[in-house]
Amino acid sequence: MKDSKIIDVARIANVSPATVSRVLNGSPLVTKETQNKVLKAIQELNYTPNAMGKQLRSRKTMTLGVVVLDIGISYHAEIIKGIEQKANAMNYKILICNSQNEKKKELEYLSLLQNRTVDGIILVAPMLSDGEIASFAGEGYAIGVIGRRLGHLNIPCSTTDNWKIGRDVVTHLAANGHRRIAFLNGYEEALDSIERLQGFKEGLAEAGLPFLPNLVDRGDFSEDGGYAAFRRLWEESSDFTAVFAANDEMALGVYKACSEYGIAIPDRMAVVGVDNIRITNYVSPKISSVEQPLYELGGLLADKVIDQINGDLQPGQKDFVINSRLIVKGSSQKGADSI
């Protein structure tokens, strides 16, 4: 009779191979009923775990996987720099995985953990649900998330206060006399963009201004998307005087559209973005933007995930919030271009 494998045990017990692994590793997440089914199948097949295979699985690769939605966006580049610097300082390498805005690819990259290609994975603003991410953490894998809070005891997260970002931008624009403010959203599933929209709404309410759904459009965090979204809004109704773009890439798209329409910035249209990437200082006027500590967000999470791999991460809530600040420049306030 051929040697039994873990997949054979899973088939007999009618569970997943991952559940069999949990039983073999003594995981408390398995119910007594499921544990008994697996143990019965193990006995029936006379299955013995491969000690050599177990040893290979437990061997560290000294590599972190970093999964990003779009490697071409500057937001991700700064975060990756921070991750790489911290990882290298701790003798780790990083493997960059570009999911191309596809949830399916994010799941595929998480399989790197299962086959031990990497020791841990950092997800940057993932499209996966909290439950999908938590299911891998439940298997004992080291996972960290940037740009989103999960509130999971085994998943460290680093983020900024996106509600505050939205409120701060509206407060600034309202103080400069703007009453009809457009908002350019990112990906539909992106939590940071959703939270910035909520902060935008709160800021409007605090300023005594109405929220106008017809002044919200989606730019998918890209320059082309911001350009197209602004054009749609302008063709629909040109009575707004300011635009809050949920990132700087979309703000650059707004600049392109305004140039084509002959709309003067900031005299006719104020523009504010998020991230304060370098190119915002190379256009005229410079783009007002909320500076996020992207490098620090990446470095902090790399440090926490490596601690998690080594069993050194302290128990308890693992949400780390880093402060951001609005940098006012010439795109939203006259005479503010030199800072």
- pLDDT (average), residues 73-83: 89
Asked whether the CA dihedral 207, 210, 211, 215 is positive or negative, the reply is negative
Q: Give the residue carrying structure tokens 């005594």.
A: 208
pTM of the predicted model as reported, rounded to 2 decimal places: 0.74
pLDDT score of 337 more than 70: no
**d(Cα 40, Cα 52) in Å, to the nearest integer?**
24
The two domains 63-160+294-322 and 162-292 share their CATH topology (first three levels equal): yes
In the chain, domain spans: 6-56, 63-160+294-322, 162-292
- Extract the tokens encoding 212: 């106008």
How far CA 97 is from CA of 71, 75, 88, 103, in Å, comes to 8, 15, 18, 13
Name the pLDDT band for 1 (thresholds 50, 70, 90): very low
pLDDT score of 301 more than 60: yes
Query: Between 335 and 155, whose confidence is greater?
Result: 155
- Domain formed by 6-56, architecture: Orthogonal Bundle (1.10)
pLDDT score of 51 more than 60: no
How far CA 283 is from CA of 184, 271, 339, in Å, comes to 20, 12, 14
Fold exhibited by the domain 63-160+294-322: Rossmann fold (3.40.50)
**d(Cα 18, Cα 119) in Å, to the nearest integer?**
17
Quick one: pLDDT at residue 71?
84
For the stretch 142-169, pLDDT in tens is: 999 998 888 787 889 999 999 999 999 9
Query: Between 20 and 183, whose confidence is greater?
Result: 183
- Extract the tokens encoding 278: 């370098």
Strand order in 157-159's β-sheet? 93-98, 63-68, 120-124, 142-146, 157-159, 319-321
Return mean pLDDT, the chain: 87
For the stretch 214-268, pLDDT in tens is: 999 999 899 999 999 999 999 998 899 999 999 999 999 999 999 999 999 999 9
pLDDT score of 68 more than 60: yes
Domain 162-292 homologous superfamily, CATH: Response regulator (3.40.50.2300)
